[in-house]
């Protein structure tokens, strides 16, 4: 993994000359990419590292400010709670000769958005596909897809990372090749040959940490010791999804009482009631992320709830759509509609801080497409704007 420090220094003067400090109302966006010859699913990555854009809040237009060079597939990004530091999961299989990816820490110059590389440490497993920051701001949690592990990385006072305080290896039988809940005619059969940790995040309280293992068809639940940075199995220790369905990502509702899991190979959403006192999940609804009558293969990717808590969005790859659902008084979902992503294989998406625009990272189309959000209905309308980015994987916003 290479963070090109010389490039950081060379670009600093040009950055300051061309782009003055952002205005008080400006919104900045960071885009993580696949940037190595070995990108996702064995394909080449065409990104250059982490991109910094400025967003026009009235039109949604993204204007490039800078690229922070990295050839290590910084495919997932997250801020700390103070939003003064950014952390990147570098989705590679080898770090310093070991079978592992890595995680990089950056400080953020708030006036301009400029990143300064602090350090890089092992993610304690190959192919880190997701990371999050604990609400305490003291730890980064990372899920290593290829390695089948989750790790806790302490955040030092200066924002840099220390070596892992805990590493858990997902262990147990894997599910069947074919998803029990897949749509008719589906050949979505990847990911059940060995354990695959796909996401890790704490609950809103920070007392519990949840991790999705796609191959085990389980959402693992851990009690978290915020003083030691360690994980211990909860009771119950997991929630199970139907065999072969493959939980990928999940999201909590802002009320803390509902959680939604998106299954990659079944193309389903499961609505759970969440008991915050016990750290337990109880499934109450399963609904397809695809339109009624769909037949064929699809892989889901990302799931997100609008800031007002009224709508849930889910991305479909191969079908290449973003579907939206209204969230009812009890937390159940009702399919609202879908919008074509205007590009191939949406890896992830995000909604800007105003809630007015949704941006989808179309991985195989090498572009980010922008959509206006109808705040009353949840519907999406394409703005006509494409932003060129090689193999985009994630976009996050700094207001």
User: In what helix (H) or strand (E) does residue 260 lie, and over which residues does it extend?
Assistant: strand 258-263
Burial degree of 111 (CB within 10 A; 0-12, 13-18, 19+) = exposed
Contact indicator for 298, 317 with CB cutoff of 8 Å: yes
DSSP 44: P
Can you give the pLDDT at residue 20? 60
β-pairing verdict for 311-317 and 321-327: antiparallel
DSSP 37: S
How many other C-beta atoms are found inside a 10 Å radius of the C-beta of residue 25?
7
Q: Is the pLDDT of residue 13 over 80?
A: no
Contacts of 382 (CB under 8 A, 6+ apart): 339, 340, 342, 369, 370, 371
**CA separation, residue 207 to residues 31, 87, 135, 225, 354 (Å):** 30, 22, 10, 8, 29
Can you give the pLDDT at residue 26? 82
Contacts of 13 (CB under 8 A, 6+ apart): none
Can you give the pLDDT at residue 189? 84
How far is 93 from 143, CA to CA, in rounded Å? 13
DSSP reduced 3-state for 158: coil
Going by C-alpha positions, the residue among 248, 39, 28 that lies closest to residue 130 is: 248
How far is 252 from 260, CA to CA, in rounded Å? 6
Contact indicator for 101, 128 with CB cutoff of 8 Å: yes
Can you give the pLDDT at residue 23? 66
pLDDT tens profile 236-273: 999 999 999 999 999 999 999 999 999 999 999 999 99
Can you give the pLDDT at residue 170? 97
Q: What is the 3-state secondary structure (H, E, C) of 3-26?
A: ECHHHHHHHHHHHHHHCCCCCCCC
How far is 197 from 129, CA to CA, in rounded Å? 8
How far is 65 from 53, CA to CA, in rounded Å? 5
pLDDT tens profile 104-163: 999 999 999 999 999 999 999 999 999 999 999 999 999 999 999 999 999 999 999 999
Can you give the pLDDT at residue 399? 85
Contacts of 17 (CB under 8 A, 6+ apart): none
Can you give the pLDDT at residue 12? 42
Average pLDDT, the chain: 94
Q: Residue 38 — very low, low, confident or very high, per pLDDT cuts 50/70/90? A: confident
How many other C-beta atoms are found inside a 10 Å radius of the C-beta of residue 393?
27
Q: Residue 31 — very low, low, confident or very high, per pLDDT cuts 50/70/90? A: very high
pLDDT tens profile 215-240: 999 999 999 999 999 999 999 999 99
Top-ranked range on mean pLDDT: pick from 13-27, 187-201, 354-368? 354-368
User: Starting at the edge strand that comes first in sequence, how are the strands of the sheet with 218-225 ordered?
Assistant: 197-202, 208-213, 218-225, 230-240
How far is 91 from 169, CA to CA, in rounded Å? 18
Contacts of 230 (CB under 8 A, 6+ apart): 152, 165, 166, 224
How far is 143 from 216, CA to CA, in rounded Å? 14
Can you give the pLDDT at residue 39? 75
**Greater confidence, 15 or 38?**
38
What's the whole-model pTM score? Answer: 0.94
Can you give the pLDDT at residue 42? 72
**CA separation, residue 390 to residues 34, 45, 46, 351, 367 (Å):** 8, 7, 4, 20, 7
pLDDT tens profile 281-322: 999 999 999 999 999 999 999 999 999 999 999 999 999 999
pLDDT tens profile 322-381: 999 999 999 999 999 999 999 999 999 999 999 999 999 999 999 999 999 999 999 999
Q: Residue 24 — very low, low, confident or very high, per pLDDT cuts 50/70/90? A: low
Can you give the pLDDT at residue 15? 45
Contact indicator for 347, 361 with CB cutoff of 8 Å: yes
Contact indicator for 140, 131 with CB cutoff of 8 Å: yes
């Amino acid at each position: 993994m290479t963070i090109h420090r010389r490039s950081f220094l060379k670009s600093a003067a040009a950055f300051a000359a061309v782009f003055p400090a952002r205005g008080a109302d400006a919104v900045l966006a960071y885009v993580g990419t696949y940037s190595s010859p070995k990108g996702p699913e064995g394909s080449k990555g065409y990104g250059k590292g982490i991109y910094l854009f400025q967003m026009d809040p009235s039109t949604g237009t993204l204007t490039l400010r800078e690229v922070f060079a990295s050839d290590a597939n910084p495919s997932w990004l997250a801020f700390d709670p103070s939003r003064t530091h950014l952390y990147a999961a570098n989705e590679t299989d080898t770090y310093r000769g070991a079978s592992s990816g890595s995680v990089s820490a950056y400080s953020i110059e708030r006036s301009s958005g400029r990143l300064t590389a602090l350090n890089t440490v092992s993610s304690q497993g190959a192919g880190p596909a997701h990371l999050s920051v604990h609400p305490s701001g003291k730890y980064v949690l990372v899920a290593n897809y290829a390695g089948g592990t989750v790790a806790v990385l302490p955040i030092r006072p200066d924002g840099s990372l220390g070596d892992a305080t805990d590493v858990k290896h997902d262990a147990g039988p894997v599910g069947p090749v074919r998803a029990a809940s897949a749509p008719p005619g589906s050949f979505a059969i990847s990911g059940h040959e060995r354990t695959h940790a796909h996401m890790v995040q704490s609950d809103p309280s920070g007392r519990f940490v949840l991790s999705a293992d796609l191959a085990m068809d389980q959402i693992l639940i851990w009690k978290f010791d915020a003083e030691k940075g360690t994980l211990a199995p909860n009771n119950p220790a997991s929630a199970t999804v139907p065999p072969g369905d493959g939980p990928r990502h999940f999201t909590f509702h802002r009320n803390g009482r509902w959680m939604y899991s998106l299954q990659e190979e079944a193309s389903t959403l499961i609505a759970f009631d969440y008991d915050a006192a016990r750290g337990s999940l109880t499934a109450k609804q399963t609904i397809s992320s695809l339109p009624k009558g769909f037949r064929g293969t699809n892989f889901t990717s990302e799931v997100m709830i609008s800031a007002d808590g009224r709508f849930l969005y889910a991305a479909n790859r191969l079908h290449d759509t973003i579907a939206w659902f209204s969230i009812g008084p009890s937390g159940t979902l009702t399919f609202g509609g879908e919008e074509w992503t205007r590009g191939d294989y949406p890896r992830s998406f995000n909604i800007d801080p105003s809630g007015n625009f949704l941006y989808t990272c179309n991985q195989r189309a090498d572009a980010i497409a922008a959509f206006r959000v109808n705040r009353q209905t949840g519907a999406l309308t394409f703005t006509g704007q494409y932003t060129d980015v090689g193999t985009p994987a994630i976009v996050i916003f700094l207001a």
